[in-house]
Structure 1
Amino acid sequence: MKLRTILFWTHLLTGCVFGLFIAFMASTGMLLAYQRQAFTFAERNVSISEVKPGARRLPIEELVRRATILEGTPPPSALILRDVNEPVCFQTGRFTVLYLDPYTGASLGHGAIRVRRFFATVEGLHRWFGISGGLRSRGRSLKAAANLGLLVMLLTGFCLWWPTAFRVRYLRPIVCLRRGLKGRARNWNWHNTFGIWTLPLLLVIVLTGTILSYGWANDLLFRTTGNAIPAEDHVFRPAGALHVLSSSPRWEPLLGRAESQLATWQRINLIVPDDANAPVLFTIDSGNGGKPQSQGELVLNARTGEVLSWVPFRAKNLGQRLRELARWTHTGESVGIIGQTAAFLAAAGALVLVWTGLALALHRLRAWQARNARVTARNQAAPYFIPVCEARELKAARSVAGSLPPSPQSPDHRG
């Protein structure tokens, strides 16, 4: 069996197995592409009243206490924006927030609840096909397998796409959309054209998705770069945070120190401590929150305010930088709106590839069934024609024999 035949059937069978799952992930990925802008637009009216001259913001620890009273549990983090007219945002869940007026401590609501709930549902569909409970891990495993399946199809598809020669007549049908085509010819043209143009973007999405989906891929990233595998992320303990708040902490001076750490800061995220003896962690961001290359981590002593560590993005080891970039490059946010648009177009291209690929596979299946039907019909009809065929062959043989001259060994031969 030729190598190209092996690649073709690997490509075809993988697409048939994972095609619909890939289409599902691509469609939900398109919906998630601009969720950051969707939140900003939907919550554009969440703002504080006019700030009076000389007004001072309440201490951040007091705002955390008020958020705790309103929610019944301490928030894991508090986001402070540089704009004095913006409220303080407390992340109370993955997609739930609470806004407070930083000058009065009054609640400004939970933002666009329906929009956030919608994106929470779509993300659940994208990450584990919406499966809940104990079966969620199976949904996550299925999604990760489909992601690897797409990687196999991209690699084998590129090998199958490779032209015989890089000349115009060979390249035009597989790199340019052609008008006037219908049926199988159109699907073949679209499959090749969309495939080659979206290949680089889809490879980035698939590779970063593999790192996010599999622990072994994440560990391989750090081993390949020669860096130690970091410990698992800390799990927030609300009971511990309540204990810290009861001891009257003073985080406002620490926040001031964080503001002075980076002159161009736009957002500061306070990770609410859940241990009285633990240092206080601030994430300082000079961007919009989706670009890890604009962020740095500041760790301060909770009692003295001493800087224990300041680690901007460029100071992290290569493994850490690549891991953080993988998270935000998967959605395109690491390069802003251009990257998000590229991710959106790549997902749309994946939908076209699944559609045209399955259409070509179905056409091949129908052609195979038609051939089998013709062979079966011929085999079933063959016994009725055998006597006729034998009679015809015997008559033809006699005719040929009568037209030949006698052989020398024949008794009729005259010397």
Structure 2
Amino acid sequence: MLPIVLAAVTGMLLAYQPWMERWLEPQHFGVRDDGGEPLDARGALAALREAAPRATLHEVIVPENGARRPYVAQASTIESGGQEQWYALFVDPYSGAVTRRSGAAPMGVIEHFHSTLMVGQLGRYWLGGSAFLLIPLTIVGVYLWWPIRRGMLQRFVRRRDALGWHQVLGLLSLPIVLIIAVTGVTITFYQQAMPLLELATMSASRPDRPVVRSPEDNRADLNSAIRTVEVQYPNARIAAFGEPRAANQPYVIRLRYPGELHPEGWTEVYLHPSSLAILGEFNAFDHSPATAYRHSFVFWHTGDMLGRAGRAVWSMASVALLIMAITGFLHWLRRGRGRSMRSRGRS
């Protein structure tokens, strides 16, 4: 029960991560909408280039329209000693101000506790195993509840005991708890889970990104790559972009089309690093069920697939899971105490 309780508490906090980041790191996440037009992807890129001209921008996440969130870039620089230093850059979409964070994020401590219990791989497997056991426990709970389902609400209103809370909260949060458990198992046992899912769904593995066979020295700039995609895909919004690490790798730009649930879109576009010719595109949702799940299970785990409402509902499900763990334990103690008293009475 302990791993489930700890995961529920930290999961509840992580559900409010966007708001907590604005409180804990206002210098990075304190975006204020001044009523002006926010920067587009190329405007944010220009601000990043001006603030960090030597940085390699590996991935830049574009905030959703109307969201009070900065552009977040994972960047690195080769220092004088030849070592690569990694850091995060943040761009205010209204002022264009750029800030840098080199150390660990405050919310990273909660994320680390949520995924490892601060004890490394042992805690990771402990949590993953608990999430795996939560799946059959949920199914058994439904099986035990089914014969006594009639009059459940009336009994709950009349008695409001531990069992009543357990049943009502379990019924309300059942689908979300199962989603959290399944995706949690996937996060922990990713290398084992994905091949099994591909086999079960008869899905083809995700193809590798295209490789540039004859790379040229004169690599086009990232701004031109973004502009090319904007012209070629006018109906899509750029969700993320970045620079290739090697000369034979393409530019990769992620797109999100209107109506898509995925916060970062299902589509990747690949451009030749020199000519900016479109080398191809890949849509994870259309490729196969396993690839669609691979591309989205983290966002299902956090509730981000359903936006702000999803995070709020997932937070309430975490609270329900915490209460269910406690009430289940109390009901078990009560039944054990009752059996003990009946045994002493017979003797």
TM-score of the two chains, using structure 2 as the length reference: 0.76
Aligned-partner SS, 2:100: coil
Aligned-partner SS, 1:171: coil
CA distance in 1, matches of 2:336, 2:155: 25
- The one-letter amino acid of 2:169's match is F
Deviations 1:160-213 (A, max 9, x none): 11116xxxxx5113x45633536xxx1122222222222222112212222222
CA distance in 1, matches of 2:131, 2:188: 9
Aligned-partner SS, 1:179: helix
From 197, 202, 227, the counterpart of 2:203: 227
CA RMSD in angstroms, aligned pairs only: 4.1
Which 10-residue stretch deviates more, 261-270 or 316-325?
261-270
* 1:146 aligned partner: 130
TM-score of the two chains, using structure 1 as the length reference: 0.65
Question: In the alignment, is residue 156 of structure 1 matched against residue 156 of structure 2?
Answer: no
Which 10-residue stretch deviates more, 272-281 or 208-217?
208-217
Q: Is the 8 A contact 2:271 2:277 kept in 1?
A: yes
Alpha-carbon deviation of 1:97?
Answer: 2.8
Change (3 A) 1:212 1:58: closer
Deviations 1:5-49 (A, max 9, x none): xxxxxxxxxxxxxx121111111111111323544685243689x
Runs of 5+ unmatched residues, structure 2: 77-85, 210-214
Give aligned pairs, total: 323
CA distance in 2, matches of 1:286, 1:40: 28
Q: Is the 8 A contact 2:222 2:243 kept in 1?
A: no
* 1:23 aligned partner: 5
Q: Is the 8 A contact 2:254 2:266 kept in 1?
A: yes
Question: In the alignment, is residue 296 of structure 1 matched against residue 267 of structure 2?
Answer: yes
Alpha-carbon deviation of 1:223?
Answer: 1.4
CA distance in 1, matches of 2:259, 2:245: 27
Which 10-residue stretch deviates more, 308-317 or 353-362?
308-317
- The one-letter amino acid of 2:88's match is V
Aligned-partner SS, 1:76: strand
Q: Is the 8 A contact 1:80 1:88 kept in 2?
A: yes
Question: In the alignment, is residue 331 of structure 1 matched against residue 302 of structure 2?
Answer: yes
CA distance in 2, matches of 1:339, 1:101: 25
Q: Is the 8 A contact 1:298 1:307 kept in 2?
A: yes
Question: Max radius of gyration: which structure?
Answer: 1
Which 10-residue stretch deviates more, 19-28 or 205-214?
205-214
Change (3 A) 1:86 1:229: closer
- How is 1:35-184 mapped onto 2 (pairs within 5 angstroms)? 35-39=17-21, 42=26, 43-45=29-31, 60=45, 63-64=48-49, 66-67=51-52, 69=54, 74-80=56-62, 89-92=72-75, 97-100=88-91, 108-110=98-100, 117-131=105-119, 136-163=120-147, 171-173=150-152, 175=153, 178-181=156-159
CA distance in 2, matches of 1:203, 1:365: 28
Aligned-partner SS, 2:269: strand
- The one-letter amino acid of 1:67's match is A
Deviations 1:365-414 (A, max 9, x none): 33344456567xx6xxxxxxxxxxxxxxxxxxxxxxxxxxxxxxxxxxxx
Alpha-carbon deviation of 1:313?
Answer: 4.6
CA distance in 2, matches of 1:59, 1:119: 24
Q: Is the 8 A contact 1:227 1:319 kept in 2?
A: yes
CA distance in 2, matches of 1:332, 1:208: 11
Alpha-carbon deviation of 1:117?
Answer: 2.7
CA distance in 1, matches of 2:130, 2:337: 26
Aligned-partner SS, 1:90: strand
Deviations 1:230-263 (A, max 9, x none): 4799xxxxxxxxxx9x976522211101222332
Q: Is the 8 A contact 1:299 1:309 kept in 2?
A: yes
Alpha-carbon deviation of 1:282?
Answer: 0.9
Change (3 A) 1:211 1:374: same
Runs of 5+ unmatched residues, structure 1: 1-18, 52-56, 165-169, 234-243, 379-415
Q: Is the 8 A contact 1:26 1:350 kept in 2?
A: yes
- How is 1:200-279 mapped onto 2 (pairs within 5 angstroms)? 200-214=175-189, 215-230=191-206, 249-279=220-250
CA distance in 1, matches of 2:250, 2:208: 18
Change (3 A) 1:22 1:219: same
Aligned-partner SS, 1:309: strand
Alpha-carbon deviation of 1:276?
Answer: 1.3
The alignment-based identity, stated in percent, is 21
Alpha-carbon deviation of 1:277?
Answer: 2.0
Determine which structure has the larger strand proportion and give its number.
Answer: 2
